[in-house]
Structure 1
Amino acid sequence: MTMNLLTVAEIAAQMRVSKMTVYRLVQSGEMHGIRFGRSYRVPETSVQQYLESVNSGTDFRTPTS
């Protein structure tokens, strides 16, 4: 299984937001990221889950049961 990892710059361009916005999303836990040295990589599935949670109005950080 391969995991597509995106850079903060790639996500920012895709979402049309600043890189700082993406960093804040990762650091707050709203979007899951993996730290590599001084930079982050975010699984493409995490970006999709975050966008779906925003569209549905649910809080991504709160587990549903």
Structure 2
Amino acid sequence: MSFKVVHTYALTGVDHGEVLIKSLDATLIKGMWLKVDDIIRNTRDADAVIGVISRQPFNRRVLE
């Protein structure tokens, strides 16, 4: 069973642990989404979400 991990504030040139995530039979999807609707659309079917709560609108709509 493969897991989907979405990083919603993935800066370029930074090691986001792709090798580790791949070794866990997971896929890392990286993006830079700053709007609620974009975050929701891109994380809807994710098993895990990584983000920057101080810079992104992780509000009730996103979490539900």
TM-score, normalization by structure 1: 0.27
More relative contact order in 1 or in 2 (CA 8 Å, sep 6+)?
2
